Amino acid sequence: MYYGIATRKDLELFTGEVCAFFDDELIINDELNQKYIDSYDMLMETMCAETLLGNMPDTDDKQGMGLPQIDRIKYDDIIENSQEHQAKIWNKWHIDINLVTFESLRYDWKSSIIFMRIGYKRIIEVIPSTREERSVYWKKWWNTYAGDGKPKDYMERSERFLGVEK
């Protein structure tokens, strides 16, 4: 695995921790925890689609950085528009999002997961509940028209690495 990840279990646990942190009020108001589940699945599936769950390294800095392949435009948007999370993130993980550089996302897998959740949180459209719908959502909002990925890639890679059925 690349990006400084110790184990897949660490990746899964921290992704769950990030989703619980950002979606806490949603979890309390949703007795089935569906919003937490959808955000967790979205993050895990995105990492599958973008870097084969950390098994494909960054090759350059012209596209995206880190596990979720955060591009420069998205990184700048997150830094500029997410200051309301800065103190809470510092208190929870001792990470100052203002000091996280674009290049450091390549090796700082925890920050890249935090940035990914903030990035998805900035999207006004709710994360869908089915993997197929999430594949379209990912293409529309994360990979965008500029990316080479297709919803079928998202579906295939998430099935391959997470063992989820279509």
Question: Could you read off the pLDDT of 55-82 as tens digits, one per residue?
Answer: 888 776 667 899 999 999 999 999 999 9
Residue 105 included in any domain: yes
Residue 120 included in any domain: yes
Which of 141, 123, 124 lies closest to 46 in space, CA to CA? 141
Question: Bigger pLDDT: 43 or 4?
Answer: 43
pLDDT of amino acid 38:
92
Where in the sequence is the domain holding 73, given as residue range(s)?
8-162
Question: At residue 112, does pLDDT exceed 80?
Answer: yes
Residue 2 included in any domain: no
Residue 141 included in any domain: yes
Q: How confident is the model at residue 130 (pLDDT cuts 50, 70, 90)?
A: very high
Residue 1 included in any domain: no
The total of structural domains in the chain comes to 1
7-21 core/surface letters (b: 16 or more CB in 10 A; e: else) = eeeebeebbeebbee
What is the spatial distance between Cα 3 and Cα 110, in angstroms, rounded to a whole number? 9
| Mean pLDDT calculated for residue range 113-133 | 95
pLDDT of amino acid 75:
95
Residue 3 included in any domain: no
Residue 123 included in any domain: yes
